[in-house]
């Protein structure tokens, strides 16, 4: 079965410091991986995705993610955190067993950036 795990419920970081939000996956075949962000009482917003190609993917708002096939990881990173980055972050993978229509979401990691 395909799955995605976010091992940290919460990540705390000081403003200006680098941040990492972790994600690991388990899929059969090639993974199609995504990161989304959710602000309070709002829908999810797409940040970035890995389909194929370069292992370092750049996305919105200065975020990037590194795809590591050997470690089956897709960690989200940002060189310098902002207070406004505080939100709930979801890692996701397309479920290829359903032709890619379904998406499997991680449980989410809450990021707190302290001024």
Partner 1 sequence: DGGITQSPKYLFRKEGQNVTLSCEQNLNHDAMYWYRQDPGQGLRLIYYSQIVNDFQKGDIAEGYSVSREKKESFPLTVTSAQKNPTAFYLCASSPGLAASLYEQYFGPGTRLTVT
Residues of this chain that interact with partner 1 (CB under 8 A) are 9, 32, 34, 36, 41-46, 49, 51, 90, 94, 96, 99-103, 105-108
> What does the buried/exposed string (b/e) look like for 90-110 if buried means 16 or more CB atoms within 10 Å of the residue's CB?
bbbbbbbeeeeeeebebebbe
Supply 60's token pair. 């919105």
* Closest CB 83 distance from partner 1, rounded Å: 23
Cα distances from 26 to residues 3, 50, 63, 71, in angstroms, run 5, 15, 23, 10
Q: How far is the CB of 54 from partner 1 (least distance, A)?
A: 16
Which CB sits closer to partner 1, 43 or 54? 43
Residue nearer to partner 1 on the CB measure, 70 or 101? 101
Q: How far is the CB of 23 from partner 1 (least distance, A)?
A: 12
Q: How far is the CB of 60 from partner 1 (least distance, A)?
A: 11
Query: Cα separation of 64 and 47, whole Å?
Result: 9
């Amino acid at each position: 079965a395909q799955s995605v795990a976010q091992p940290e419920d919460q990540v705390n970081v000081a403003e200006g410091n680098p941040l990492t939000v972790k994600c690991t996956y388990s899929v059969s075949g090639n993974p199609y991986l995504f990161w989304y962000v959710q602000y309070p009482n709002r829908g999810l917003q797409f940040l970035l995705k890995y389909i194929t190609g370069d292992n370092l993917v750049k996305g919105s708002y200065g975020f990037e993610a590194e795809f590591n096939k050997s470690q089956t990881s897709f960690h989200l990173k940002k060189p310098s955190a902002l207070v406004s980055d505080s939100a709930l972050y979801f890692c996701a993978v397309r479920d290829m067993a359903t032709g890619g229509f379904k998406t499997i979401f991680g449980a989410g990691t809450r990021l707190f950036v302290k001024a």
